[in-house]
Amino acid sequence: MEFAHLIKSPRVEKVLVHRPLNKSAEGVLCITGHHLIFSAGGESPDEFWLIHRIIDLVERKPNTPPAVGGTLVLKCKDFSVISFDFQNTEELNNVSASLDCLSSIENQSLYYPFFYQPAYTAIEDGWTAFRPEVEFSKLVMQQQEDWRISYANKEYAICSSYPSAVVVPKAVDDDVLIAAASFRVGGRFPVLSYRHEGGAVMMRSSQPPSGPNVKRCREDEKLLNSVLKPGMRGYIIDTRHQSTTPTPKSKGSGGFEIESHYPQWRRIHKPIERLQSLLESLSKLVEACLDTGSSMDKWLSRLESSQWLSYVKETMNCACLVSQCIDQETAAVLLHGGEGLDSTLAVSALAQVILSPDSRTVHGFEALIEREWIQAGYPFVLRHHRSALSNTVSRNKENAPTFLLFIDCTWQIMQQFPCSFEFNEGFLLQLARHSYWSQFGTFLGNNELDRHQMQLSNKTVSLWSHLNRPEILRSFLNPLYEPNNRVIWPSVAPMSVSLWPAMYLSYVVEPRIYDDAWRDIAAICEQDKELRSKAQRLRRQLIDLERDAISKGLLDSPSSIGTVFD
Amino acid sequence: MEVIKTPKIENVRMLDRYNNRKPSTGTLYLTATHLIFVDPDAKKETWVLLMHVATVQKLPLSTVGAPLQIRCKTFLSVTFVLPRERECHDLYTSLMQMSQPFHIEDLYCFHYTSSLEEIPRTAGWTFFDLETEFQRMGVPNSNWTMTNLNKDYQLCDTYPQCLFVPSSVSTIVLVGSASFRSKGRLPVLTYLHKNQAALCRCSQPLSGFSARCVEDEQLLNGIVQANPNAKFMYVVDTRPRINAMANRAAGKGYENENFYENIKFQFCGIENIHVMRSSLSKLLEACELKTPSMAAFINGVQSSGWLRHIHAILDTSLLVARSLKEGVNVLVHCSDGWDRTAQVCSLAQVLLDPYYRTLQGFQSLIEKDWLSFGHKFTDRCGYLQSDAKETSPVFTQLVDCMWQLQRAHPSAFQFSERLLLHLHDHVYSSQYGTFVGNCEKDRLDLKLSDRTYSLWGNIASHLDEFLNPLYKSDAYTELLEPNLVPSNILFWRGLYCRFESGVHPRESIADVLLATRDHSTSLEMHIAHLQKRITAMKTLLDVSTPVTDNRLAVDDEDDEQQLGLSLKKSMQVVDDHPLSTSKSADSVFSDGPNIENSITSSYQLRREIDSVCIDWRSLRNIKECVCSTPFDHSSKKSHCWRCGEVFCTRCLDKQTPLPGHATHRPVPVCRACYREVRLSSSSITST
C-alpha cells in the first residue's frame, strides 16, 4: 500500500460519525493511501468513502483530560463538515496526523488518478477529444485567409502556460508572436479565443508590462491590429479596476495598453475580484450557509457581506459587455486582466456560453472547459489545493475559486434559460467537484507543459472518457432541452441573481426533493416524446392502409373527393 | 362619469425603469374601470385596473411634462409623463377618487359583467359550505358539537353563523367566554385533525393585569377535555411578548397560566399589521432602487424585515402543526384573532392536511379561516376611502408563505404559483364579490351572492391554467416539514417584481411543462383514435380479401358497392366508437354522420389527421399573440390543439372536440380552427 509510513492507525473501531443530513452512526474507520472509509455496523451496514483530496481542513479536538479520546473534524471541499468521535486519544492523534499529511500532499504524481483503474473501457478517449486542431479545424478551414494554427510554442519556450498549438491571425508570422510574447506578462501573447458568427472575434492575453521605462512593442500592436478589419475599432476589456491598474509598478503588475500606441482600440475597465479576496468571499459565504442557527437578519447580512453574489453579478456583467461588443457591434475584443489566468478566463468562457449555442451542449461545454481553462493554462492544482473551509494558515495566495465562480455564473444563466442547455445542474456540480478532487487526471497539472511532463494522458483516465459514457451522461441531460440558436442575454439585475442551493446548501437543505422533481419532469418529457413518435408511426400506418384500400378500390381517393369540397 | 374630467390624453410618455432612453409614447384613456395606455407603434397596451391603484404621486415637473407615478397593489409601478400639468392634476384627482370609492356599492364587483365569463353569475357561491367542511373532518361528533348561538350574529358579529365548540360546555359558558374576549371572538374549533387533536382560534382575553373569567377558563378546559389523547393544550399567542404586555394596560392581554388549568402558554413574535405594512413598503423600495447593486438590494431586503416576518409566520405555523401532529390541542390567538391567527391557523392546516394542498381544499380553507372567521378584507385591502392605517398586506403574506412551501415541496401542491398570483390579484381587484366585506355578516347584508360573481366560479372555469404538473397526490400524506433555515426562505421575485419584464427567467419551466402535459393529452386521444381507425381499416382490408382475390374486377361498380357494404360491416365491429356513443352538448358530431359513413373517404381520414397537431410551436421567442397582444413574463401562453400555434388567453376562448381525438372532450382551439372544425363538420353532415 502506498503511504504506509504515513498511516499509523489504518483501522479504528467504535468511531462515532456525525454527517450533515444523516443520523449519527458508530462503526469502523479505515485509512488507505487515497481514501478514508467508514463502515457502520448494525443492521443496515452503511458505508462511505472520502477521497483524501476532498479534505480542506483537519481539526483535532481532544477531550479535556482526564477524559480520553476526542473529536476529529473534517472540513471538505464540497462544503460538508464531518466529525468523528474517537474513544482513544492515540488513535485520534494518529488518524488526524495521517489525514493532515495525506490531504496536503503536493506531489501530483502521488494523487489518486495515477492509481485509479476504471472497471470499464471508454468508447472515446477524452485525452484526444478536444485537441486544438480538432476544436479549431472548422474555423481554420473556413477562414483560411484570416487564421492559422501556430506551433511557435511547441516546446513551451515562448509561454510556459500556453498550449503547444494556438490560433493566431494568419497575417502575423511566428516571429511577431515571439516578440509579442516577450512584451506580455508570462509570455501570454494575444491569441484567438472565440470567433462569433458575424465574424467578430474575442482574443485574450495577459497585461503588457508596466513601469515608466516600458517601450512600446510594435509586434504586439501589429498582432492586435491584424484582427481588425479596415476602419474598424476594437475594444480592450480590462478586468481590473482602472485606478489600480497603472500604479503598482514595483510588482511588475498593472501594465496597460497606452492609447497613443493602440489608436484603433478603446480600453474599458470592468473590475472583477480575484484570487485571495475571492476565496475569502467564498469562505464567508460557505460559513454563513453552514450556520443554520442564525436569524434571518444575520443570514442576509452575512450573505451580503460575503459579496459572493456581487462577484457573480460583476462577472456576468463583464461577460455581457464582451458579448455585446462582439454580437451587437461586431467589434473585436481583447480581454485581459493581470496574468490572463483568472478573471480573463472566467469572462472569456462565460461570454461564449452567452454567445455560442455550441457551448450549451454537453460536448461543447466540455470543449469550452478544455479550451478556455485546461489548455489555456488555468493552474487548477494551485488554485484548488485549498478551498472555502481551509484556514488562513493552510491556504496560500495562489488558492482561488475562480473556476467555481464561472460555474456559478453558468448556473445563473441556466436558471434564466432552463430550456437552452443540453446538460443539467448536476453536470455543472460534477465538473466543479472533479476540478477539486477526482479519480480522473483531467484537472491535474497547472498547464499543458505540466500535464505533458507527468504523461497524464498515458497514466490517468480522462474525466471526459467517463462522463461521455451513455449510461453516465444520461443522468446529466436536461429533459427540457430544446436547442436555442440565439445569443442568450441574461439579466444581471440583483433580483435575478440567486444563491445556488445545490452547490452551497446541499448539506443544509435536503436536495432529494428537487432531484425527485427533476425525475418527474424528465418522465413527463419522455412520455411526450414517446407519444409523439407513436402518433407519427400510427399515422404512417394508417396512411399506408388507406393507400392500400384506395388501390383496392375500397376507398375514394383524396383527389376525386377533394374537388367536391374545395 | 363626472369624476372623469379628461377621458383621453394624447402624447403621453410611459417611463420604464429599465428602458429610460426609449420611453414609449401613446395615448392614455381613463374609463370607469381602467386606465389604459396605448402605444400604437409598439403595439403595446398597458391596462391598469383602477381598483388596483395603491398610490398616485405627482413627481416634480420636468422639461418634457408632468410625471405621474402610479403604484399598484399588484406591484406594478408605472410613471406617465403628461404633456400639461393641468391634465396631470385632473388625472390625479380622478384616480384618487376612483381607485378608492366612498361607498362599498361602487366597488368593481357590483357593475362587473363579462361575456368572457362562461359561467353563470351564481357559480362558485355554493361551492363551499362551512358545515360540509366540518363534516369532512368528522365534526360534529361526541366531543364537538355545532351551536346555533350565533345564528343572528348576536354572540359575535365577525364570526360565522355556525360555530363548533366542545360538546361538554353550556351556553352560559360560551356567552361568558365571548364577553371576556376582544370583539366577542370566543375560542371555537377551526380544524380537527384525524388524531382528534383540535385547532381552535379566538381573540385575546380581556384579562388586563389580573381579571379572570370562570366561563372562559371552563371553555378552555372543555377544549382540553374534548381531546381524549392529551391532558393539556398549547395556547399560542402569535404576538411578540412586549405587544401582549402592552395590551394589558388597555384591559386586554393574554392568558395567565395560573388561572387556566392544563395550558402551556407561548408567545411567537409575529409583528402587527402596522409593522407588516411598512415592511412591505420598504421591500418595494428595495425593488425599485435605481441601478441597484447586489449589496444594496440584499441590504434593502434585509432591512425591510419582510423575509423575517415570513419566516416568523411559517415558523409559528410549523410549531402549531407539529403540536397537533403529536396529538395536542392548540388554541391560537393574536389581538383580534383575524390577521396573524388566520395566517397561522390556515398554514398549519396546509402543513397537516393534504386536502388543503389541493385546489379545492385550499379554496375551502380560505373560505373557512379567512372569509368565515372574519379577516377584514375590505379594510386590509383598502377597497374604500377610509383609514389607511387599517390596510396591511396580511393576505399577501399568506400567499408568500404558500409560495415558499410550494418551492420547498414541488410535488405536494395540486395548484401552481399562477393560482397564487391570480388569487392575489383578485383579492385586491374587488372584481369578484368573494372578498368584499369584512366578515360573513357583511357579505350576507350586501347580498353579494346574488349581485356579484364569485372568484371560485372563475377559477373553476380555468382549472387547467392553475394546476401543478408535478403534483403527486400520494407523495405527502403526512405532515409537511419545510426546512425553515433562513437560507431556504427566498425573496419572491415572481410577485414583487412581477412587472419588471427584464428580471425573470426567459424560459419558464412551469409553462413548458403545462404545455407538454396538454400536448401529451392531445396525443393520447389522437393515438386512441388512430388505433381505432387502423383496426377498422384492417378489418376492411381483411374482409375484402376474398373479394379482391379477383383483382381484375376491382373497377367493377357492383364490386364497389359490395365493398362499401363490407366497410359498413367492418365499422360496426368498432362498437365502442366514441363518435357513436358520446352525446356531449358541445359536440359538433352529435347530429352529424354516423359510424357507417365516417370512413367512406380518405378526405374524412385526412380531415381527422389534420385536426390534431403533432408538433406544437415552441414557447420560446414568442413575443406576441396573433392579435398582437405582447406576451410578458406573466402572461399565459396557450396552444391551439388543432394548429399548435400559440395564442393569448383572449384569443383562445373557444373549445370544441376534434375529429381526430378518440374522446369527445372539447379542447381549446383558436378562432380560425374553431371555424374550420365547425365548417367541415357541417359540410360532412350536408353530404
Using CA atoms, how far apart are residues B335 and B403, in angstroms rounded to an integer? 26
Chain A CB within 8 Å of residue B560 CB: yes
Per-residue b or e along A520-532, where b marks 16 or more CB atoms closer than 10 Å to that residue's CB: bbbebbeebeebb
User: A291 and A396, same structural domain?
Assistant: yes
A520, closest residue in chain B (CA to CA): B470
Residue A420 within any structural domain of the chain = yes
- Which DSSP state fits A428? H
From CA B622, how far away is CA B642, in angstroms rounded? Answer: 18
- Sort out which chain B residues have CB atoms less than 8 A from A508's CB and list them: 483, 485, 487-488
* Chain B residue at shortest CA distance from A508: B485
Hey, are the CB atoms on B308 and A541 less than 8 Å from each other? no
Counts of helices then strands in chain B (DSSP H, E): 23, 18
Does one domain contain both A487 and A386?
Answer: yes
- The whole-number pLDDT of residue B593 equals 37
The alpha carbon of residue A259 is apart from the nearest alpha carbon of chain B, in Å, by: 30
CA dihedral sign, ordered B290, B294, B297, B303? negative
| A289 to B487: CB separation less than 8 angstroms, yes or no | yes
Domain annotation covers residue A125 = no
If you count residue pairs, one on A and one on B, with CB atoms under 8 Å apart, how many are there? 213
**Is there a single domain that holds both residue A391 and residue A468?**
yes
β-bridge mates for residue B81, sequence order = B13, B67
For A534, which of B472, B485, B527 is closest by C-beta distance? B527
Residue recorded with cell 516571429:
A175
Which residues lie below 8 Å from residue A168, measured CB to CB, with a gap of 6+?
A147, A148, A150, A177, A191, A192, A223
Q: Tell me whether residues B486 and A296 touch, CB distance under 8 A.
A: yes
Element (H, E) at A178: helix A174-183
Q: Give chain A positions within 8 Å (CB) of B534.
A: 538, 541-542, 545
Q: Which residue of chain B is at minimal alpha-carbon distance from A529?
A: B520
Which is it for strands B198-202 and A147-150: parallel, antiparallel or unpaired? unpaired
Chain B residues close to A512, C-beta within 8 Å? none
Residue B169, phi then psi, degrees to nearest 5 = -95, 150
In a domain, A287, yes or no: yes
Of A140, A353, A114, A330, residue with least CA distance to A231: A330
A505 closest CB neighbour out of B487, B526, B537:
B487
Nearest CB to A557: which of B509, B527, B602?
B602
In the predicted model, is pLDDT for residue A497 greater than 90? Answer: yes
d(CA B588, CA B585): 8
Share of chain B above pLDDT 90, in %: 72
The closest CB to that of B605, out of A493, A542, A552, belongs to A542
Q: Which residues have C-beta within 8 Å of that of residue A183, sequence separation ≥ 6? A: A189, A208, A209, A217, A219, A220
Q: Splitting chain B (687 residues) into consecutive groups of 10 residues, what average pLDDT does each group show? A: 80 77 86 92 85 94 91 94 93 93 93 73 88 96 96 96 96 96 97 97 95 96 96 97 94 94 95 97 93 94 98 98 97 97 98 97 97 96 91 98 96 96 96 95 94 93 91 90 96 94 90 94 95 88 59 39 39 35 36 44 82 92 83 86 92 90 91 88 58
What DSSP letter does each residue of B496-551 carry, written as one string?
A: HTTT-GGGS-SS-HHHHHHHHHHHHHHHHHHHHHHHHHHHHHHHHHHHHHHHHTSG
A420 φ/ψ sector (left φ>0, alpha ψ -120 to 50, else beta): alpha
Q: How many structural domains is chain A composed of?
A: 3
DSSP-based three-state secondary structure for B491: coil
User: Which residues 608-647 in chain B show a CB within 8 A of chain A?
Assistant: 609, 612, 614-615, 618, 620-621
* Residues A53, A194 within the same domain: no
Do A468 and A394 lie in one domain? The reply is yes
How far apart CA A129 and CA A152 sit, in angstroms, is 22
Sequence-ordered list of residues with C-beta below 8 angstroms from that of A476, at least 6 positions apart, any chain: A362, A423, A424, A426, A427, A430, A467
Nearest CB among A486, A538, A555 relative to B602 is that of A555
Strands of B148-261 (E only): list them. 163-166, 188-192, 198-202, 233-237
- One domain, residues A454 and A522: no
**Minimal Cβ distance to B502: which of A415, A491, A546:** A491
If 0-12 CB within 10 Å is exposed, 13-18 middle and 19+ buried, where does residue A133 land? Answer: exposed
> What does the alpha-carbon distance between residue A284 and residue A499 come to, in Å, rounded to a whole number?
13
Question: Which of A317, A526, A554 has the highest number of chain B CBs within 10 A, making it the mutation to test binding with B?
Answer: A554
| Beta-bridge partner residues of A149 | A167
A75 and A163 together in one domain:
no
Does A564 reside within a domain?
Answer: no
Q: For residues A129 and A11, which has the higher predicted lDDT (pLDDT)? A: A11
Would you state the pLDDT for residue A44?
67
Residue of A nearest to B551 (CA): A552
- Do residues B79 and B28 make contact, with C-beta atoms less than 8 angstroms apart? no
Angle among Cα A9, A13, A19 to the nearest 5 degrees reads 100
Res. A228: pLDDT tops 70: yes
Picking from B289, B298, B511, B551 by the largest number of A CB atoms within 10 A of its own CB, the best residue to mutate is: B298
Contact B620 A484 (CB under 8 A): yes
Selecting among B213, B334, B401, B648, the annotated active-site residue is B334
Q: Which chain A residues are within 8 Å of B641, Cβ to Cβ? A: none
* Highest-scoring range by mean pLDDT, A62-66, A322-326, B112-116: A322-326
Please report residues of B whose CB lies closer than 8 A to that of A303.
298, 487
Q: Which of B43, B62, B100, B54 is nearest to B78 (CA)?
A: B54
Q: Domain range holding A270? A: 132-509
Cβ-Cβ contacts under 8 Å, B550 against chain A: none
User: Under an 8 A CB cutoff, do A542 and B533 touch?
Assistant: yes
A113 occurs within a structural domain: no
Tell me if residue A248 falls in helix, strand or coil. coil
Say yes or no for a CB contact (<8 Å) between A513 and B410.
yes
B57 interface with A at CB cutoff 8 Å? no
Which of A291, A485, A555 is the mutation pick for testing B, counting most B CBs within 10 A? A555
- Which tens digit of pLDDT belongs to each residue from A521-545? 999 999 999 999 999 999 999 989 8
Give burial (CB, 10 Å; 0-12/13-18/19+) of B549. Answer: exposed
A113: which DSSP letter? G
Among the three residues A509, A531, A560, which one is the final residue of a domain in this structure? A509
Same domain membership, residue A211 and residue A78: no
* Domain presence at residue A114: no
pLDDT by residue (tens digit) across A387-426?
Answer: 999 998 999 999 999 999 999 999 999 999 999 999 999 9
DSSP assigned state of B433: G
SS3 at position B39: strand
Return the residue in B603, B610, B615, B616 with the most chain A beta carbons within 10 A, the one to mutate for interface testing: B603
User: Which domains are delineated in chain B?
Assistant: 8-99 (2.30.29.30), 130-287+300-504 (no CATH), 505-534+602-686 (3.30.40.10)
Give yes or no for B574 touching A (CB within 8 A).
Answer: no
Identify the sign of the CA torsion B244, B248, B250, B252.
positive
Both A35 and A145 in one domain: the answer is no
Rounded to 10 deg, the angle between the A296-306 and B306-325 helix axes is 130
CA distance A198 to chain B (A): 21
* 8 Å CB contact of B410 and A294: no
| Domain-embedded: residue A178 | yes
Query: What span, in angstroms and rounded, lies between the C-alpha atoms of B102 and B383?
Result: 9
Q: Tell me the mean pLDDT in the region A43-66.
A: 90
Region A412-441: mean pLDDT is 97
Residues A361 and A283 in one domain: yes
Q: Has residue A116 been placed in a domain?
A: no
Provide, as residue numbers in chain B, all residues whose Cβ is less than 8 Å from the Cβ of A528.
516, 519-520, 523
Q: Which of residues 23-42 of B touch A (CB under 8 A)?
A: none
For B308, nearest residue in chain A (alpha carbons): A296
Pick from B512, B524, B534: CB nearest A541: B534
Say whether B531 and A538 touch across the interface (CB within 8 A).
yes
Contact A552 B544 (CB under 8 A): yes
Nearest to B294 among A494, A524, A557 (CB): A494
Among B308, B469, B537, select the one facing A546 at the smallest CB separation: B537
Our CA-based measurement puts residue B500 at a distance from the nearest CA of chain A, in whole angstroms, of 10
pLDDT of residue B204: 97
Q: Which helix (H) or strand (E) holds B314?
A: helix B306-325
Has B200 been annotated as catalytic?
no
Do A90 and A147 lie in one domain? The reply is: no
A346–chain B nearest CA distance, Å: 20
Q: Residue A88 sits in a domain of what CATH number?
A: 2.30.29.30
User: Which chain A residue's Cα is nearest to B490?
Assistant: A498
Asked if B497's CB is within 8 angstroms of A495's CB, the reply is yes
Residue B549 is predicted with a pLDDT of 41
On the CB side of A21, how many CA atoms lie within 13 Å of its CA? 11
Cβ of A309 within 8 Å of Cβ of B488? The answer is no
Between positions 514 and 533 of B, the ones with CB within 8 A of A are 516-517, 519-520, 523-524, 526-527, 530-531, 533
Q: Could you give the CA distance from residue A353 to residue A421 in angstroms, rounded to a whole number?
A: 10
Grid coordinates given for B529: 383514435
Cα distance between residue A92 and residue B381, in whole Å: 63
Chain B hits for A525, CB-CB cut-off 8 Å, are: 516
Both A502 and A535 in one domain: the answer is no
